[in-house]
Every structure is written in C-alpha cells, then in structure tokens.
Amino acid sequence: MESPATEDMLFDFLDSHGIAHKTYRHKPVFTVEEAQKQHPNMPAGGHSKNLFIRDKKKNYALVVADENLKIDLKALGETINVKRPSFASAERLQAYLGITPGSVTPFALLNAHKFAKDDHPTITVALDQNLMAHDIIYFHPLHNSASTAITPADLIVFVKACGYEPVIF
C-alpha cells in the first residue's frame, strides 16, 4: 500500500488546483475544546468538527460540521443514507483516510482518493451548511498540530478534485 499523503503533498495538491491556503501552527489538539483555545491565534472564520462514520452495510461518511453543531447521528444518518451510524474504528480511519484519530479532516480525502480500490467503500462527504456560510474555514492539514485556512468554495473544489460530490446538510 502507498504511504499516506504528507502535509507538503497536500499543499502541492491545493496549489495545483488553484486553492489559496494559509496554515497556522499550534500544539497538537485532540478535541474541539482543545482546538478552541487556539482560535485567538487565527483570523476569524469557521472551525470544524469532523467525523468518520459507518453503518453495518459498509456505508461510510465523512461529516464536516461547524464545531458548535450538536450532531444527532441517527438523524444525520437518515439524511445522508448511513443507517444507524457509529464511529469508524481507528483501523478503518487509517485504512480508508490514511490518518489517525484526532486528525480527521476533509483534506484526508486526498488519501481516500489515492487508496481507492474495489475493496474500499464509497465515502459520502457531508458538509454542514452553517460551516460553509463562513468566509474562511479551518481544517487540520492531515495532522492535528496545525490548522489550514481555505474558503468554502475552495473546499468544494478540493472535494470534487478528489473525486467526491459533496452533500450539504
């Protein structure tokens, strides 16, 4: 299996697709609460919580939501056709997105695109309309010790460039 993409590979991909980005370094964060302590060091914008979920029928979804959104997994699952969702294991997170827990990010779709094979599931990419309403949005660049700013429109460009059609919820 190929190695997962690195931060530099991600930035090269963003550059090659005309996606402007700026990265802010910070100590590693593992929760929304820890990440919120880093916000004063960055310009105003939308910060996210990102979930990789699955159901028993091997339907997967990468959920990209505003950090303050209370997510009802069951209701969201009905909306995006992932019935009775649960969190994907660390092993599946690594196998399908090439990242570890605490580093879930839509930028990991770069790895899903690289690793796509017949034995890998299709991943629904679900984007929160509230997060997408910000001028700038922040995501981890494949690890949790930095946050990278892009525009919502460029997030759509990125997701499509990775071969996915996002669903707005």
User: What b/e sequence results for 75-105 when a residue is b if at least 16 CB atoms lie within 10 Å of its CB, and e otherwise?
Assistant: ebbeebebeebeebeeebbebbbbbeebbbb
DSSP 164: -
If one counts the domains in the chain, the total is: 1
Classify residue 143: in a domain, yes or no. Answer: yes
For residue 16, give the CATH number of its domain. 3.90.960.10
pLDDT at 115: 59
Q: What does the pLDDT look like over 10-27, one tens digit per residue? A: 999 999 999 999 999 999
Classify residue 110: in a domain, yes or no. Answer: yes
pLDDT at 16: 98
Between helix 152-161 and helix 7-16 the angle, nearest 10°, is: 100
Q: What does the pLDDT look like over 79-118, one tens digit per residue? A: 998 999 999 999 999 989 999 998 999 999 999 866 555 5
Q: What is the pTM of this model?
A: 0.90
Q: Which neighbouring-strand residues pair with 61?
A: 53, 124
Measured CA to CA, the distance from residue 37 to residue 40 in angstroms comes to 7
Classify residue 139: in a domain, yes or no. Answer: yes
Rounded mean pLDDT, 68-83: 91
Q: Which residues span the domain enclosing 81?
A: 7-168
Are β-strands 137-139 and 123-127 bridged in parallel, bridged antiparallel, or unpaired?
unpaired
Residue recorded with tokens 């310009």: 43
Q: What does the pLDDT look like over 32-69, one tens digit per residue? A: 888 888 877 788 999 999 999 999 988 899 999 999 99
Provide, rounded to the nearest whole percent, the portion of the chain with pLDDT above 70: 93
Tokens linked to 2 = 């190929």
pLDDT at 4: 80
Largest CA distance in the chain: 44
Classify residue 39: in a domain, yes or no. Answer: yes
Classify residue 62: in a domain, yes or no. Answer: yes
Measured CA to CA, the distance from residue 101 to residue 131 in angstroms comes to 21
167: how many CB neighbours lie within 10 A of its CB? 14
Classify residue 2: in a domain, yes or no. Answer: no
pLDDT at 121: 63
pLDDT tier at 71 (50, 70, 90 boundaries)?
very high
Classify residue 132: in a domain, yes or no. Answer: yes
Classify residue 66: in a domain, yes or no. Answer: yes
3-class DSSP assignment, residue 85: coil
pLDDT tier at 1 (50, 70, 90 boundaries)?
very low
3-class DSSP assignment, residue 44: coil
